[in-house]
Amino acid sequence: MSEPVPYPILNDDEPVRQFNELDASLTYSYASYLNWLFPERVELIKGRVFKMSPAPSSVHQEIIGNIFLKLGSFLKKKPCKVYISPFDVRFPKESHNDEAVFTVLQPDICVICDRSKIDARGGVGAPDLVVEVLSPGNTKMELLHKYRVYEEFGVKEYWVVSQGDKSVLIYTLDEMGKFQPSKIFTLSEKITSAVLPGFELALDDVFEDL
């Protein structure tokens, strides 16, 4: 499916200071996104605006922090870099021009091993690994919209972390470019990564004291 063409109604050079000034029926580009000055966090998926959930809960933040620290420690002096939200990842189709990019996400955690995909504004192109921690307000977004983006653009590994039942489901991209799910990992188990050989994560450490 080709990316939508933006409506010419909105001037990309005009700053937008209130979220409610956006028109949900329009298609926006990354160039538009850069001129949004309102405090709400949003993401773009194929040019459509998705308002992110309110500030994450303390439990959500602790889970992200625990995973981030483990990945960061493992990746020291390695070529891959790990980033934590808020960190924009643009998903260009053919052109990297701001006006031609219609999908911009903020994964909870992402690992990028190709340094050419990192610039001053964030990531450009599919990360090697993405981690999303589900909460009551974002489950549909993570399991449907983001899943499709990550699969389409070739994210090699996608972890879906559920704080509700303290579990992790790993989707791995197969040779046909389709995600294949793992079994559901739960407390007392450890997970490994096909993207990061040698990395091991105990779920008891992820959900410690939660």
> What's the pLDDT tens digit per position in 70-127?
999 999 999 999 999 999 999 999 899 999 999 999 999 999 999 999 999 999 999 9
| Peptide bond between residue 39 and the one before it cis (omega within 30 degrees of 0) | no
pLDDT at 9 over 60: no
DSSP 109-159: EEEE--GGGEETTEEES--SEEEEEE-TTTHHIIIIIIHHHHHHHT-SEEE
Beta strands 89-90 and 122-124 are parallel
pLDDT of residue 143: 76
**Amino acid occupying residue 71:** L
Q: What angle do CA 209, 164, 157 make, to 5 degrees?
A: 95
> What's the pLDDT tens digit per position in 142-198?
678 999 999 999 999 999 999 989 999 999 999 999 999 999 999 999 999 999 999
Q: What b-and-e string marks burial along 120-141, b requiring 16 or more CB atoms within 10 Å of the CB?
A: eebbbbbbbbbbbbbbeebeeb
One of 3.30.360.10, 3.40.50.620, 3.90.1570.10, 3.30.465.10 is the CATH number of 58-206, namely 3.90.1570.10
**How far, in Å, CA of 174 to CA of 101, rounded?**
26
